[in-house]
Amino acid sequence: MANITQLEKTASQVRRDIVRMVHAVQSGHPGGSLGCADFFIALYFEVMNHNSSNFNMDGNGEDLFFLSNGHISPVWYSTLAHSGYFDKSELATFRKLNSRLQGHPATEEGLPGIRMASGSLGQGLSVAAGAALTKKLNGDKSLVYTLHGDGELQEGQIWEAAIYAAHKKIDNLISTIDFNNRQIDGDVSDVMSLGNLRQKWEAFGWEVLEMDGHNMQNIVDTMSLAKSKTRQGKPIMILMKTEMGQGVDFMMGSHKWHGIPPSDEQLANALGQLEETLGDY
Amino acid sequence: MKKYVVQNQKDTRSGFGEGLAELGKENPNVVALCADLTGSLKMNEFENNHPDRFFQVGIAEANMMGIAAGMTIGGKIPFTGTFANFSTGRVYDQIRQSIAYSEKNVKICASHAGLTLGEDGATHQILEDIGLMKMLPNMVVINPCDFNQTKAATKAIADYHGPVYLRFGRPKVANFTPENQKFEIGKAVMLNEGKDVTIIATGHLVWKAIEAGQILAEAGIDAEIINIHTIKPLDEEAILNSARKTKCVVTAEEHQMNGGLGDSVAQCLARNFPLPQEFVAVNDSFGESGTPEELLEKYGLGASNIVDAAKKAFNRK
């Protein structure tokens, strides 16, 4: 049984890390990172079977995760650090010269936990489909997970991959969309509406689930349900309803905290709203 | 001038197809992906023999590059197959981020490169692909000259770990390099030793360079001819050794002058041993419909153009 309280405490620490990292270097993307903190913690501490102490690129016998919307790197880096992939003190190097924690995730510096660069949007679903195919070829029963932004679905390559994954019955793949209806220029529904996403993905041949991205119990239960639906001939898409900036009141309710850092005063305000549970880096 | 025997006329894409088929038998980690051009890329034999390792992705090249990148995770060696145009310009950002920057062991195999695609015209005749691909860090760029060499290159790149761009073409051309040759990535092949001018050629223009060498010999000019099948990494030692001897250089390629082999050679010479250099390449224009030979002539890529360039370089010494 998942310890929901402990997962929530870890997510609170990750949210503190996110705002501190982005504040320290006065750049980065806090909004989507905060919105996905609960998902990342559930994924790495409850859902996935993964080996944080002996990272290798091939990941045979392990579940794999690909972050397609790479700009929310702060939440991934903090989650990886708390999972044991590297020391959390390294979070202080985020976006600085000679760091392994690049602005967008990269493999070149050898940061454990990262298997593919991302940042240019729309590529992660294809990559994950490929990794899932290799797992099938290798007889590896592990699963492949991805996360995408909702605005990212405006990229055509996503739909190429959607067609392909259904056609090839890639049923060891569980994808999630961070459905916060925000993108840089405004609300997704205003910039370029996605219409009915459930119907779209179902029409493309995917099994579609929905979950509340800020209800830890619901995330854990829905991901468990998703796992039970693997190997049934269909790839799985989870529409995860989230709030950009979740956990910091003044960052919520707007798209404007997509990619700007908090000031000193705003940082203090934000940290006052987020319990320090595991010790700041 | 050394004599070369043309064994037969064969397309380089068939060399790729035969090499891939052999790899299928020899290396269980090799997988192949194709974007609805299986016949054009001569991938049928691999597909027929290894249907479980062949992935038809439809007309979706961006997706193909991403899938290939992902398939490397877990140890597969993906060979992607489509036309050169759709292997590079159309999917540049996917290659840049998911393959080159991410250092994935993908072999991007590109047919119908250059003008000699022929009648389909300029939409398909990419002349910018060498430049696009050589600019990417981590990317190896190979343009073999004939059937035998393309087959050897196809097999060799499976044993090299890292991203590779392998460029070949559609028309039947002189097949003159040894069967079952050893292909060394980044190692130039000396085709004729000479003292008056160095001709450095790649791809289909290697045979044109040999034809030019014969004409030059009759005119009393002793040309050294080098086959640069690997444009990146460039065999600078071979180029400089020859340049120091002949003191003038001609480069020849079925590609734009901007960004091609000629640029790479010029950069090497400028940094080490500046010399007169002439460029046989397409000069900042698109191609058009026509037969391969008509197009090579019209766009200045024939043996006579190499002869003229060699004489000009020689006279600039």
8 Å CB contact of A60 and B93: no
Tokens of A129: 């489909």
The CATH code of the domain that includes B82 is 3.40.50.970
Full pLDDT tens readout for chain B, 317 residues = 999 999 999 999 999 999 999 999 999 999 999 999 999 999 999 999 999 999 999 999 999 999 999 999 999 999 999 999 999 999 999 999 999 999 999 999 999 999 999 999 999 999 999 999 999 999 999 999 999 999 999 999 999 999 999 999 999 999 999 999 999 999 999 999 999 999 999 999 999 999 999 999 999 999 999 999 999 999 999 999 999 999 999 999 999 999 999 999 999 999 999 999 999 999 999 999 999 999 999 999 999 999 999 999 999 99
- Please give the residue range of the domain that contains residue B204: 189-315
Whether B204 maps to a domain, the answer reads yes
A40-56 tens-digit pLDDT: 999 999 999 999 999 99
Give the CA count within 13 Å in the CB-facing half-sphere of B48.
9
Whether B181 maps to a domain, the answer reads no
Please tell me which of the candidates B70, B72, B102 has its beta carbon nearest to residue A129: B70
Whether B244 maps to a domain, the answer reads yes
8 Å CB contact of A132 and B70: yes
Look at residues B175, B205, B229 and tell me which one is the last residue of a structural domain: B175
pTM: 0.97
Please tell me whether residues B94 and B234 are part of one structural domain. Answer: no
Whether B128 maps to a domain, the answer reads yes
Look at residues B175, B203, B231 and tell me which one is the last residue of a structural domain: B175
Please tell me whether residues B127 and B38 are part of one structural domain. Answer: yes
Please tell me which of the candidates B52, B76, B102 has its beta carbon nearest to residue A117: B102
Phi, psi of A187 (to 5 degrees): -75, 140
CA pseudo-torsion sign A240, A243, A244, A248: negative
Please tell me whether residues B195 and B160 are part of one structural domain. Answer: no
Whether B207 maps to a domain, the answer reads yes
A82-131 tens-digit pLDDT: 999 999 999 999 999 999 999 999 999 999 999 999 999 999 999 999 99
8 Å CB contact of A107 and B103: yes
Q: What is the rounded CA–CA span in Å between residue A157 and residue A45?
A: 30
Selected catalytic residue, list B47, B61, B253, B254: B61
Chain B, nearest residue to A61 by Cα: B74
Amino acid present at B111: S
A88-115 as b/e, with b when 16 or more CB fall inside 10 Å?
bebbebbbeeebbbbbbbbbeeebbbbb
Look at residues B175, B197, B212 and tell me which one is the last residue of a structural domain: B175
- DSSP-based three-state secondary structure for B25: helix
The ipTM estimated for the assembled molecules is: 0.97
> Domain A4-273 is classified in which CATH homologous superfamily?
Thiamin diphosphate (ThDP)-binding fold, Pyr/PP domains (3.40.50.970)
Burial class of residue A31, CB neighbours in 10 A (0-12, 13-18, 19+): buried
8 Å CB contact of A58 and B62: no
8 Å CB contact of B66 and A137: no
Residue of B148, B153, B178, B184 lying closest to B166 (CA atoms): B153
8 Å CB contact of B73 and A119: no
Please tell me whether residues B40 and B145 are part of one structural domain. Answer: yes
Please tell me which of the candidates A58, A124, A161 has its beta carbon nearest to residue B73: A58
Please tell me whether residues B171 and B199 are part of one structural domain. Answer: no
Q: What is the rounded CA–CA span in Å between residue B266 and residue A217?
A: 64
Asked if A139 reaches chain B (Cβ–Cβ under 8 Å), the answer is: no
- List all residues 6 or more positions away from B229 whose beta carbon is below 8 Å from its beta carbon: B142, B143, B144, B145, B149, B153, B183, B188, B189, B202
- DSSP-based three-state secondary structure for B134: helix
Please tell me whether residues B233 and B160 are part of one structural domain. Answer: no
Please tell me whether residues B32 and B94 are part of one structural domain. Answer: yes
- Taking CB atoms and an 8 Å cutoff, what residues of chain A touch B63? 126, 129, 157, 160-161, 164
8 Å CB contact of A126 and B76: no
- Taking CB atoms and an 8 Å cutoff, what residues of chain A touch B54? none
Q: Is B61 one of the annotated active-site residues of the chain?
A: yes
Whether B180 maps to a domain, the answer reads no
Say if residue A182's pLDDT is above 70.
yes
Please tell me whether residues B24 and B171 are part of one structural domain. Answer: yes
Number of domains in chain B: 2
Q: What is the rounded CA–CA span in Å between residue B82 and residue B56?
A: 11
Number of A–B residue contacts, CB under 8 Å: 116
Amino acid present at B315: N
Please tell me whether residues B92 and B142 are part of one structural domain. Answer: yes
Please tell me whether residues B39 and B165 are part of one structural domain. Answer: yes
- Taking CB atoms and an 8 Å cutoff, what residues of chain A touch B75? 58, 60, 134, 138
Q: What is the rounded CA–CA span in Å between residue A238 and residue A247?
A: 22
Q: Which residue is associated with the tokens 């891939």?
A: B20
> Distance (Å) from the C-alpha of residue A108 to the closest C-alpha of chain B?
6
In this predicted structure, what is the pLDDT of residue A229? 98
Please tell me whether residues B154 and B227 are part of one structural domain. Answer: no
Chain A, nearest residue to B51 by Cα: A137
Q: Kindly report the length of chain A.
A: 281
The CATH code of the domain that includes B205 is 3.40.50.920
Whether B74 maps to a domain, the answer reads yes
8 Å CB contact of B67 and A157: no
B126-146 tens-digit pLDDT: 999 999 999 999 999 999 999
- Taking CB atoms and an 8 Å cutoff, what residues of chain A touch B64? 126
Phi, psi of A193 (to 5 degrees): -60, 140
- Taking CB atoms and an 8 Å cutoff, what residues of chain A touch B53? 137
Please tell me whether residues B194 and B289 are part of one structural domain. Answer: yes
Asked if A36 reaches chain B (Cβ–Cβ under 8 Å), the answer is: no
